[in-house]
């Protein structure tokens, strides 16, 4: 199946076609035109052709508004504004990857605040992972009203809070480093756009396709900074990669003896910030760039784009406003005959706004039935509208450059703006499609002036005896002829009835309509500079011999003629076939082969001139049949794109990190090898991106084996993220390429086991338990969500609900921890946190879990949304996330509150472990289970797996609950709820306990204390009858403290311990 390439030309086609088709649902429903006429108007407006099949003044007001705004949105000036905006956005991302200090300098120029924070960030980038073990205070002022959590939703098993910190991974840099842009244009705070030098431990690195092994010294892999120590055999590859993958062409000056394929001598560098050895080739191709030069050039171009956006926006909309003000002002003070003409057409001063738009956008639609013929003796509107036609299209590059030149003259020499203006004037085609160097701009102006001068001369001289022209006095005839010549370029309005002018003039207008695009199209292609070539990334291709100007221009003209002549002939031929009867009818002289050719040429040139039809005030196209109108629409759409460059132009191509075709092998090797490094660092997002980026469609040369390795690493990355279905697809791709590989079969077997666990909830518990020691308490399993769903809870926030009936002791949820830290691991206590927000006393706690969660989120930004959804301020929608470089920001304050209120304590892992320092973990889905003092579930832990079982029958749609605090004392429970989760439990049990008298509470406490001493002092497994009898008596005494009437149907929490003792002893 054919898939068109997604590039500027394709998107331009899609945009123009879509805007044209919008006419069907907008114009057609009113019923005053057919569907084909509605589409015709849409196509004519979106391509700015101006041909009409119905008199515009007969349209309804809303329909006239539609064909007023559509040409503005599809005008080449407006589209180029969008291109500049998109390129500015992508250029910013490009610089963030390759030279972020440029953006920092730019921000420092714009805003003189935040210097202390900038210095702090700079220092932070130098920290190693071990240096994060420091004390960070979270003050009340920093977090006021930032983290209001939803009640009744979250809990904490162990009393730990969090730390606010930035976790950099130490990265060393050097002159021989390699750098490939990351998957989401993101670099860690410490990287600062510098190349990373990485060291791999033990694993054999990939081979390049030519069989040459890239060798690396063995060294230990650590999180404190990965270093690759390369042997001398890859020094050259390192230098090549540094020059290919960073802005610019070379890290060292190119010898002057190298022959230029363009047969041009390089020019001198006109940018003082660049080093002296930099030279400039054809089309602003900078050569001999050093690393510093590349960064300087990127910064200048970025600032220039920002200024250019302001200039072209003001120019485009200012031209519309200027024309409207002048025309409305003129009609307000004009002779009464002109206002009478408008009144007869049912128009008023809105004619000024509409005419200003139709001339500026070179559309051609008018609110008067005879176009501008009624105003041809009015000198001021003729001159003004001729200026608007030139400034809006054919001389747009000239007037835009003139505007920039004037600004450069009035701007102070030492102003930062002067640098950008000078860059625009000296290297225009690096920034904008319709901005040319000085020479081509003067040539364009000369060609346009010559063509219009010839056109005006022909109109006046060839119609000296024609009353259509000679009826005007010379003072009005010349402005009207200038207007007609200007309209023949692209506008399509008329100051004379073209059907009545000399046939020679008609032929000259036809020729002028066809060649109208030639000057700009040739200027675009002659000054076309490709994106990465202009940045110095690609070698020059052989180009036309520009020393011979005549040969050079003739070659471009031949290319243009071959490009579109056959479209005109084909369109004319098709319409002649469809309209054969009327063309052959001698009673319809308006229908002739020439008039059809004139109409097709006007449509293809997007001009809009027409010889018309005698009895109606519409274009000749309005008399065509459906097929003829369709052909004209296609001609307008195809002709709209003939002035665009052949290939992707420098000024419309997005910044990228592409490298030449011949170096794709090196790029793929670098991506594939870096994916291995990211796997070791558990940066699964980047590992998967790198692995997939290295896959190629080329055949032979060991490509199959290298692609298989890439799929393997993509599968391992997906497996590490818990995306087992995706991992299975990658492993199957690997098996397709390497069917005999036994390792991939093992990977598939392991993935299938995880998928069964996730779908069926069937676990091999014996294997899991036996692997706890080997895996450090983190067994290789997947999560089973069970018959549950997350939805709003009636008690507030969100909760977990059963989707079907769950029988007693049935599995509700079996989830693997997102993150868990064990108290016996050194990292758990490697950092401390001070939290002074809630109590005046400073509290210091270990922050191992918070640190681990933040580090995991920094390494895998795709998980940020999933975790931040647990925060009360976060609504679970992506737009609430703050993003930098399209990567969600890890808000450590939010992580603090999430961990504080959602972490589970796993209890003591060793006998000598302090309960307050017990292990903790974060389980995402389990965090949605809300509290109840009368829960319907209980939890157990197996390593980092949390398992919830039903304590009773749970109905479909019932909310899953468990107890956040199992204290038997009402006062103790409520204090814990308020302190940690900021809510007060008002369940039936709490309400009953709250109403109890102090005497009843004191008696129960005394009975519970006696029972607790008994339970702790006696082993139930070997209890005698006497002890059992005593235990029953203690239980009876404790049970008697509960009022039978008040606690009817409610649990007796204080009996839990003694009941468990009696159960083990065999009495229950």
Q: What is the pLDDT of residues 277-289, one digit of tens each?
A: 555 655 555 555 5
Model confidence band, residue 189 (pLDDT cutoffs 50, 70, 90): very low
DSSP letter, residue 1020: G
Interval 343-383: pLDDT, tens: 887 777 888 888 898 888 888 888 888 888 888 888 899 99
Q: What is the CATH number of the domain that holds 933?
A: 2.170.270.10
- Is 953 a member of any domain? yes
CA angle 827, 828, 834 (to 5 degrees): 115
- What single string gives the DSSP state of each residue in 34-53? -HHHHHHHHHHHHTT----S
The residue that leads in pLDDT, 1041 or 882, is: 1041
Highest mean pLDDT among 573-577, 658-662, 820-824, 1022-1026: 573-577
| Residues listed for the chain | 1068
Return all residues near 701 (Cβ < 8 A) that are at least 6 apart: 209, 210
> DSSP readout, 110-126?
H----HHHHHHHHHHTT
The pLDDT assigned to 780 comes to: 92
Please tell me the distance from the alpha carbon of residue 1014 to that of residue 1059, in angstroms, as a whole number. 12
Band of the pLDDT at 527, cuts 50, 70, 90? low
pLDDT of residue 417: 86
**Which H or E run includes 788?**
strand 788-792
Same domain, 752 and 677: yes
d(CA 603, CA 610): 9
Q: Which residues, at least 6 apart from 461, have a Cβ–Cβ distance to it below 8 Å?
A: none
Alpha-carbon span 58 to 40, nearest angstrom: 16
Per-residue pLDDT band at 35 (split at 50, 70, 90): very high
Q: Is the pLDDT score of 550 beyond 90?
A: no
Least confident piece of the model among 682-691, 868-877, 1057-1066 = 868-877
Confidence of residue 114 (pLDDT cuts 50, 70, 90): very low
| pLDDT number for residue 669 | 86
Q: Which residue has the higher pLDDT, 1049 or 281?
A: 1049
Quote the pLDDT of residue 179.
37
Least confident interval from 474-488, 489-503, 695-709, 905-919? 905-919
**For residue 531, what are the CA distances in angstroms to 141, 797, 988?**
48, 51, 71
More confident residue, 283 or 31: 31
106 or 367: which leads in pLDDT: 367
Asked whether the predicted pLDDT for residue 450 surpasses 60, the reply is: yes
3-state helix, strand, coil split of the chain in percent (to 5) is: 55, 5, 40
CA distance 400 to 408: 12
Residue 930 forms part of a structural domain? yes
Whether residue 711 has pLDDT greater than 70: yes
pLDDT per residue over 810-856, tens digit each? 999 999 999 888 877 766 555 555 555 555 444 445 577 888 888 88
Tokens of 996: 């109890």
Q: Are strands 832-835 and 135-138 parallel, antiparallel or unpaired?
A: parallel
Which segments within 885-932 are labelled E, that is strand? 887-888, 904-905, 920-922, 930-931
Question: Could you tell me if 805 and 727 lie in one domain?
Answer: no
pLDDT at 629: 93
pLDDT tens track for 640-677: 887 665 444 455 554 443 444 446 778 888 889 999 99
Task: Work out whether strand 798-802 and strand 788-792 pair parallel, antiparallel, or are unpaired.
Answer: antiparallel
> Is 455 within the bounds of a domain?
no
* Residue 144, both tokens: 């006021």
- Mean pLDDT, residues 1023-1035 taken together: 85
The pLDDT assigned to 176 comes to 35
User: What sign does the CA torsion over 35, 40, 43, 44 have?
Assistant: negative
149: in domain: no
Say whether both 753 and 789 belong to one domain. no
Residue 788 belongs to a domain? yes
The answer to whether residues 939 and 802 belong to one domain is yes
**Per-residue model confidence (pLDDT) at position 214:** 35
What confidence tens digit (pLDDT) does each residue in 887-946 have? 677 888 888 888 878 888 876 554 455 544 567 889 999 989 988 888 889 888 888 899
**Where would I find the H helices in 889-1024?**
892-902, 970-976, 988-995, 998-1017
Q: Pick from 964, 988, 1018: which residue ends a domain?
A: 964
Where b means 16+ CB within 10 Å and e means fewer, 495-510 reads bbebbebbeebbebbb
Mean pLDDT of the 83-98 span: 72
Report CA 1034 to chain centroid distance, whole Å. 68
Q: Alpha helices of 287-428 — where are they, by DSSP H?
A: 291-333, 336-344, 350-360, 379-389, 396-410, 416-426
79-83, 243-247, 785-789 — most confident range: 785-789
Phi–psi pair at 131, nearest 5 degrees: -75, -5
How far apart, in whole angstroms, are the C-alpha atoms of residue 910 and residue 777? Answer: 13
Please, which residues bridge with residue 213 across strands? 207
- Is 529 in contact with 430 (CB distance < 8 Å)? yes
* Higher local confidence (pLDDT), 543 or 255: 543
Band the pLDDT of 259: cuts 50, 70, 90.
Answer: very low
> Can you tell me which residue has the tokens 């690759």?
228
Query: In this structure, is residue 125 part of a structural domain?
Result: no
Q: Identify whether 250 is part of a domain.
A: no
Please, are residues 610 and 51 in contact by the beta-carbon 8 Å criterion? yes
Domain check: are 667 and 726 in the same one?
yes
Q: What pLDDT shows up at residue 26? A: 92
Measure Cα distances from 227 to 125, 128, 198, 199, 1049 in Å. 17, 14, 3, 3, 66
CA-closest candidate to residue 56, choices 32, 24, 22: 32
Q: Based on the domain organization, do 674 and 735 belong to the same domain?
A: yes
For residues 313-317, give the mean pLDDT.
93
Distance CA 965, CA 971 (A): 12
* Domain containing residue 1057: 996-1065
Going by pLDDT thresholds of 50, 70 and 90, the confidence category of residue 999 is confident
Contact, 460 vs 474, CB < 8 A? no
CB-CB contact of 530 with 653 (8 Å):
yes
| Cβ atoms of residues 761 and 784 within 8 Å | yes
Do 668 and 731 sit in the same domain of this protein? yes
pLDDT digits (tens, 9 = 90+) for 397-437: 899 999 999 999 999 888 888 888 888 888 887 778 788 88
Least confident of 78-87, 109-118, 292-301: 109-118
Helix/strand/coil for 255: coil
Q: pLDDT: is 21 or 166 the higher one?
A: 21
HSE-CB for 29 with a 13 A CA cutoff: 4
Count of the separate structural domains present in the chain = 3
Residues 936 and 788 in one domain: yes
Are the C-beta atoms of residues 637 and 587 closer than 8 Å to each other?
no
Task: Give yes or no: residues 747 and 809 share one domain.
Answer: no
Tell me what the mean pLDDT of segment 559-580 comes to.
Answer: 82
Rounded mean pLDDT of the chain?
74
Residue 40 clears pLDDT 80, i.e. is over it: yes
Tokens at residue 955, please?
A: 């109905």
Q: Which tens digit of pLDDT belongs to each residue from 225-238?
A: 333 333 333 333 33
In a domain, 805, yes or no: yes
Q: Which residues contact 267 (CB under 8 A, 6 or more apart)?
A: 279, 280, 281
Per-residue pLDDT, averaged over 151-174, amounts to 35
Six-digit token string for 367: 């609110």
> Which of the two residues, 540 and 55, has the higher pLDDT score?
55
Cα–Cα distance, 554 to 564 (Å, whole number): 16
Beta bridge partners of 1022: none
CATH number, domain at 743?
Answer: 1.25.40
């Amino acid at each position: 199946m054919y898939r068109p390439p997604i590039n500027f030309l394709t998107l331009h086609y899609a945009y123009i076609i879509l805007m044209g088709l919008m006419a069907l649902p907008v114009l057609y429903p009113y019923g005053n035109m057919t569907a084909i006429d509605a589409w015709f108007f849409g196509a004519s407006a979106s391509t700015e052709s101006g041909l009409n099949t119905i008199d515009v003044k007969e349209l309804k007001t809303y329909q006239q508004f539609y064909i007023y705004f559509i040409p503005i949105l599809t005008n080449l000036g407006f589209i180029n504004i969008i291109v500049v905006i998109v390129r500015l956005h992508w250029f910013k991302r490009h610089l963030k990857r390759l030279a972020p200090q440029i953006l920092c300098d730019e921000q420092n120029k714009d805003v003189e605040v935040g210097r202390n924070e900038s210095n702090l960030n700079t220092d932070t980038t130098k920290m190693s992972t071990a240096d994060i073990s420091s004390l960070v205070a979270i003050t009340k002022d920093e977090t006021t009203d930032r983290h209001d959590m939803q009640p009744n939703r979250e809990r904490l098993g162990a009393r730990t809070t969090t730390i606010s910190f930035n976790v950099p991974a130490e990265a060393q840099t050097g002159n021989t480093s390699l750098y490939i842009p990351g998957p989401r244009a993101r670099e860690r705070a410490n990287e600062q756009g510098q190349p990373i030098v990485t060291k791999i431990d033990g694993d054999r690195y990939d081979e390049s396709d030519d069989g040459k092994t890239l060798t690396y010294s063995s060294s230990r892999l650590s999180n404190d900074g990965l270093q690759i120590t390369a042997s001398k055999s890859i020094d050259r590859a390192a230098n090549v990669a540094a020059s290919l993958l960073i802005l610019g062409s070379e890290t060292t000056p190119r010898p002057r003896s190298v022959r230029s394929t363009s047969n041009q001598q390089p020019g001198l560098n006109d940018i003082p910030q660049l080093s002296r050895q930099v030279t400039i080739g054809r089309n602003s191709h900078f050569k001999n760039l050093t690393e510093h030069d590349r960064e300087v050039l990127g910064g200048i171009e970025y600032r220039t784009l920002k200024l250019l956006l302001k200039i072209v926006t003001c120019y485009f909309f200012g031209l519309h406003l200027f024309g409207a003000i002048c025309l409305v002002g003129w009609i307000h003070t004009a002779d009464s005959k002109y206002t009478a003409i408008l009144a007869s057409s049912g128009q008023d001063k809105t004619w000024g706004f509409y005419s200003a738009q139709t001339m500026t956008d070179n559309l051609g639609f008018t609110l008067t039935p005879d176009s501008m013929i009624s105003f041809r003796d009015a000198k001021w509107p003729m001159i003004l509208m001729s200026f608007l036609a030139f400034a809006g299209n054919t001389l747009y590059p000239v007037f835009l450059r003139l505007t920039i030149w004037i600004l450069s003259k009035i701007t102070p020499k030492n102003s930062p703006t002067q640098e950008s203006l000078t860059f625009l004037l000296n290297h225009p085609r690096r920034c904008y499609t319709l901005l040319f160097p000085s020479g081509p701009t003067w040539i364009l102006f000369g060609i346009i002036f010559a063509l219009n001068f010839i056109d005006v001369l022909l109109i006046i001289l060839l119609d000296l005896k024609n009353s259509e022209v000679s009826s005007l006095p010379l003072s009005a005839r010349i402005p009207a002829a200038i207007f007609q010549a200007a309209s023949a370029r692209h506008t399509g309005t008329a100051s004379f009835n073209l059907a009545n002018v000399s046939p020679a003039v008609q032929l000259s207008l036809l020729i002028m309509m066809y060649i109208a695009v030639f000057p700009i199209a040739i200027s675009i292609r002659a000054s076309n500079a490709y994106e990465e070539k202009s940045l110095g990334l690609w070698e020059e291709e052989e180009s036309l011999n520009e020393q011979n100007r005549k040969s050079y221009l003739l070659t471009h003209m031949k290319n243009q003629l071959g490009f579109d002549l056959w479209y005109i002939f084909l369109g004319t031929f098709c319409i002649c076939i469809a309209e054969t009867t009327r063309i052959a009818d001698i009673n319809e002289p308006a229908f002739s082969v020439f008039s059809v050719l004139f109409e097709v040429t006007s449509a293809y040139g997007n001009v809009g001139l027409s010889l018309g039809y005698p009895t109606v005030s519409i274009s000749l196209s309005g008399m065509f049949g459906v097929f003829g109108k369709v052909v004209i629409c296609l001609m307008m759409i195809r002709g709209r794109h003939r002035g665009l460059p052949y290939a992707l132009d420098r000024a419309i191509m997005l910044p990228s990190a592409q490298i030449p075709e011949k170096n794709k092998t090196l790029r793929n090797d670098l991506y594939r090898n870096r994916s291995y490094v990211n796997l070791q660092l558990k940066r699964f997002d980047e590992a998967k991106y790198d692995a997939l980026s290295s896959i190629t469609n080329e055949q032979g040369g060991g490509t199959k084996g290298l692609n298989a390795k890439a799929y393997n690493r993509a599968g391992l990355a997906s497996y590490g993220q818990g995306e087992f279905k995706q991992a299975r697809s990658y492993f199957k791709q690997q098996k397709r390429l390497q069917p005999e590989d036994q390792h991939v079969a093992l990977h598939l077997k392991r993935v299938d086991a995880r998928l069964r666990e996730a779908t069926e909830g069937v676990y091999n518990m014996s294997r899991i338990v036996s692997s706890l020691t080997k895996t450090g308490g983190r067994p290789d399993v997947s999560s089973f969500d069970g018959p549950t769903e997350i939805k709003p809870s009636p008690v507030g926030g969100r909760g977990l609900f059963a989707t079907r009936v769950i029988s007693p002791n049935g599995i509700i949820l079996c989830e693997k921890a997102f993150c868990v830290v064990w108290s016996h691991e050194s990292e758990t206590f490697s950092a401390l946190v001070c939290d002074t927000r809630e109590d005046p006393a400073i509290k210091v706690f270990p922050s191992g879990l918070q640190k681990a969660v933040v580090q995991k989120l920094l390494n895998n930004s795709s998980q940020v949304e999933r975790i931040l959804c647990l925060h009360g301020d976060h609504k679970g929608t992506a737009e609430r996330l703050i993003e930098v470089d399209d990567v969600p920001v890890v808000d450590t304050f939010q992580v603090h509150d999430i961990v504080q209120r959602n972490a589970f304590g796993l209890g003591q892992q060793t006998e000598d472990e302090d309960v307050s320092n017990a292990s903790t973990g974060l389980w995402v889905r389990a965090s949605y289970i809300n509290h109840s003092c009368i829960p319907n579930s209980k939890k157990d832990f197996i390593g980092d797996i949390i398992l919830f079982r039903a304590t009773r029958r749970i109905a479909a749609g019932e909310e899953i609950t468990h107890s956040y605090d199992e204290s038997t004392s009402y006062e103790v429970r409520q204090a814990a709820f308020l302190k940690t989760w900021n809510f007060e439990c008002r369940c039936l049990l709490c309400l009953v306990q709250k109403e109890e008298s102090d005497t009843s509470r004191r008696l129960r406490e005394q009975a519970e204390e006696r029972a607790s001493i008994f339970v702790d002092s006696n082993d139930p497994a070997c209890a005698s009858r006497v002890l059992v009898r005593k235990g029953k008596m203690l239980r009876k005494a404790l049970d008697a403290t509960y009022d039978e009437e008040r606690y009817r149907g409610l649990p007796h929490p204080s009996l839990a311990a003694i009941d468990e003792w009696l159960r083990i002893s065999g009495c229950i």
